[in-house]
Chains A and B, each alone.
Chain A
Amino acid sequence: MESTGNHNPKRQRTVFLTVFGFLVLLTGLSFWVANSWIMEDRMIGWAVMLGISACKAMLVIAFFMHLWWESSWKYALTIPALFMGSMLVLLLVPDIGMRTDHYPKTRERLSPQAVTVPEATGNVSSSQDRTKS
C-alpha cells in the first residue's frame, strides 16, 4: 500500500543518491551531445538529446515519484494522458511541421517585389529631415 514502505531507509537513500548521480551525468551528456559531432545532423542530435531527457524523466518518475513500486494503476493514469497530448501534437505535423518542405527558393531569399516606397524619388534624405511625429 504505502509506496516505498517495505524498503529500509538507508537503502532508499542510496537509491535516491544514485538516481541523482545519473541525472547529473545525463545532463552533462546532453550538454556534450549539443557540442559534439552528433550535431552535424541536427535532427539526430536533437532526437538524441530528447531521448536523454526521456531517460532522465523516466528515472525521476520511477524512483522519485515511486512509480517503480506502485501497482498497475500507474499505467491507467499516465499512458492515456500521454497519448492524448501526443495526438494533439501529431495533428500539427502536416501543416506546421512540414510547412516549409515545398517552399520555392525565391520565397526564402527575396522580399516582395511589388511593394515600393512611394515617396522615395531622388534626393529625399538630408540632415534637415528630422521628422517629428
Chain B
Amino acid sequence: MAPQQTNSKPSDDAKEQPAPLVYQRAMPMSRGKLAIWLFLSTEIMFFTALIGTYIVLRFGAPEGSWPTPAQVGVMEWLGAINTFVLICSSVTIVFAYESAKSDRIRAARGWLLVTTLLAFGFLGVKGIEYASKYSHGLYPQSPRSLLHDRSDVYYLSHFSLQLKQRIAELEDQKTPTDHHDPATLETLYLIQSGMLNWTENKVGVSNDPNMKRLALESFAHQIHPLADRPDIDKYLADERADLEEQQQTIAPQFSDLESKLEAAQKQISQLSDSIAKLESNRKSKPNVNGDFPPPTEIEQKNKAQLEDAEKTAKDATESISLLKQQMNPIERRLEAQSRFNQFEDGINEHFHLKLPMVIPNGNTWANTYFMLTGFHALHVVIGIFVFLILLPLELDRKRAKVMENVGLYWHFVDIVWIFLFPMIYLF
C-alpha cells in the first residue's frame, strides 16, 4: 500500500523524528537467565512426560508383572550413592556461584572442580550399572531383545534360534577362548537335547493346557528363575520319578535283547565256521567231471540255521536301536536335570549364556530404564562439558551470571534424578 497523506494530520510526520530504538527489559533478570529458564521450562515438559509415562506404566502393571529391582540386578545402594553424589554436587555448584559472586576466584574454581569430579563419579557408577546390564543381556535389541513377557512357544522358538546360533559360533571357533571353553559347548548341547527339545516335544504332544504351561514355565524357570516356585519343583520331581521308572522298565528289555543278540552272534560264528569246514571238505573232493558234490544235508541244515540266526540278530539290533532312541532323550533329560537343578541362580546366570529369558514386562522395563537414565546421563555429560569450558576461566564477579545459569541447569539435572531414584531403585 502506498502511503497516503491524510488531511487530518498534515504536519505530524514532518515534525516527529522516529524515536531511537531502546530495549526495555521485560523481566527483572538478565537475558541469559531468561533464556536458561525458558530452556528449563521445555525441559520440565520433556521430563514430566518421560517420568510421568514411566509412572503410568508402572502403576498400571499388576503385581508380579513388572520386574523388581532385584530381578533385573538393580542395586539400591548404587542408586543411593549416586543420589548422594548429585546432592553434594548441587551444593558445591551453589558454593562455586556464591564464591564467584564475591570475587573469590580460587574458591569458585575449586568448588567447580569438585562439582566436575562428582559429575564424573556419577557417570562412573552409571557406567558400572550399564556394563552389568549389558553382560546380563538386559537391554533393548533389534529385531528382538532377549526379554520375553511369558513362557510361550514364541519364547521357545526364539530360544531355539539363539541357541543354534550360539552353538554354530562355538563350533566354528577352532581354539577355545577364555569365555567359551569346550565345556560351554557341551553345556549348550545338553540344554538343546535335555531341555529345549524335551520341552518342545512335551508341548507338542500334550493335550493338557496345564501340562503345557507347566512344561514351558519350568523351562523358563530353569533358564532364569524369578522367584521360588514350589509347583515347578514338584512338577520336576514328579517328572524325574516317572522317567526313572521308565528307565527301569526299559533296562531289563535292553539287557534281554543284548543277551539275545550276543547268543545269536555266537551261533552265527559257530555255524559259519562249521559251514566253511563242511564246504572246504566237500570242495577238496571233486568228482570225475571236476564238479563238486552237492551240499550235504547237514550243511543245508546249518545254512538254514545261519539264516535264522542272522535274522534274529538283525531283529535284536533293530529293537536295540529303537530302545536306544527311546532311552536317549530320557537319559539326556535326566542328565540335564541332575546337572542344572542345583543352580539356584538359573542356567543363564550360572554359565553367563545370555540366552532369551522370561521376565514379565522386562522389555518395557529395559526400554524405559535406558530411556530415562540415558537422557539423564546425557544431561550430566553436557553439564560436564560446560564445567570443563568454565574451569580455566577467571570466575569472578563478571562471570557470576554465567555461573548462575550453569548452576540452574545443574540443579535441574539433580531434580530429575531425585525423581528417578525411587522410581528405578525402590519401586
- By a beta-carbon cutoff of 8 Å, the part of chain A in contact with chain B is 1, 3, 9, 12-13, 16-17, 19-20, 23-24, 27, 30-31, 33-34, 42-43, 46, 49-50, 52-53, 56-57, 60-61, 64-65, 70-71, 73, 77-78, 80-82, 84-86, 88-89, 92-93, 96-100, 103, 108-113, 115-127, 129-133
**Beyond A92-B56, A97-B57, A123-B201, 18 extra complex contacts between A and B, CB < 8 Å:** A3-B404, A13-B98, A16-B95, A27-B80, A46-B422, A56-B415, A64-B91, A64-B94, A64-B407, A89-B56, A112-B153, A122-B205, A124-B197, A125-B329, A131-B164, A132-B167, A132-B171, A133-B168
**Which of A13, A57, A118, A127 sits near B418, CB closer than 8 Å?**
A57
Contacts of B259 in A (CB 8 A): none
Interface of A is mostly: helix
- 11 A-B contacts, Cβ less than 8 Å apart? A27-B84, A27-B421, A30-B422, A49-B427, A73-B29, A89-B49, A111-B150, A126-B328, A126-B329, A126-B332, A127-B193
Assess whether B212 is interfacial by the CB under 8 Å rule: yes
Q: Which of B59-67, B120-128, B175-183, B371-379 contacts A (4 or more CB under 8 A)?
A: B59-67
Known: A43-B59, A97-B56, A117-B204. A71 touches B28 (CB 8 A): yes
Query: A115–B155 Cα gap in the complex (Å)?
Result: 12
Contacts of B404 in A (CB 8 A): 3
Assess whether B131 is interfacial by the CB under 8 Å rule: no
Assess whether B307 is interfacial by the CB under 8 Å rule: no
Give me the 7 closest cross-chain CB pairs, A-B, nearest first.
Answer: A85-B48, A120-B204, A89-B52, A125-B197, A111-B152, A34-B426, A81-B41
Contacts of A31 in B (CB 8 A): 76, 80, 426
Structural contact, A109 and B201, CB atoms closer than 8 A:
no
Structural contact, B422 and A50, CB atoms closer than 8 A:
yes
Structural contact, A123 and B59, CB atoms closer than 8 A:
no
Structural contact, B200 and A117, CB atoms closer than 8 A:
yes
Query: A80–B296 Cα gap in the complex (Å)?
Result: 115
Query: A41–B62 Cα gap in the complex (Å)?
Result: 13
Interface of B is mostly: helix
Known: A3-B404, A125-B329. A82 touches B44 (CB 8 A): yes
Query: A43–B52 Cα gap in the complex (Å)?
Result: 15
Structural contact, B426 and A53, CB atoms closer than 8 A:
no
Query: A31–B84 Cα gap in the complex (Å)?
Result: 12
Measured CB to CB, the closest approach of chain B to A10, in angstroms, equals 11
Q: Place the interface of chain B in its size category.
A: 35 or more
Assess whether B90 is interfacial by the CB under 8 Å rule: yes
Known: A97-B56, A110-B213, A127-B328. A42 touches B63 (CB 8 A): yes
Known: A12-B98, A111-B151, A129-B193. A120 touches B203 (CB 8 A): yes
Query: A56–B48 Cα gap in the complex (Å)?
Result: 16
- By a beta-carbon cutoff of 8 Å, the part of chain B in contact with chain A is 27-29, 37-38, 40-42, 44-49, 52-53, 55-63, 65, 76, 80, 83-84, 87-88, 90-91, 94-95, 98, 102, 150-153, 156, 164-165, 167-168, 171, 189, 192-194, 197-198, 200-201, 203-205, 209, 212-213, 216, 325-326, 328-329, 332, 404, 407-408, 411-412, 414-415, 418-419, 421-423, 426-427
Structural contact, B419 and A53, CB atoms closer than 8 A:
yes
Known: A57-B418, A100-B61, A125-B198. A85 touches B328 (CB 8 A): no
Closest to B331 in A: A127
Contacts of B27 in A (CB 8 A): 73
Known: A85-B52, A111-B212. A100 touches B45 (CB 8 A): no
Structural contact, B45 and A16, CB atoms closer than 8 A:
no
Closest to A28 in B: B80
**Which of B45, B205, B325 sits near A81, CB closer than 8 Å?**
B45
Structural contact, B192 and A50, CB atoms closer than 8 A:
no
Structural contact, B48 and A86, CB atoms closer than 8 A:
yes
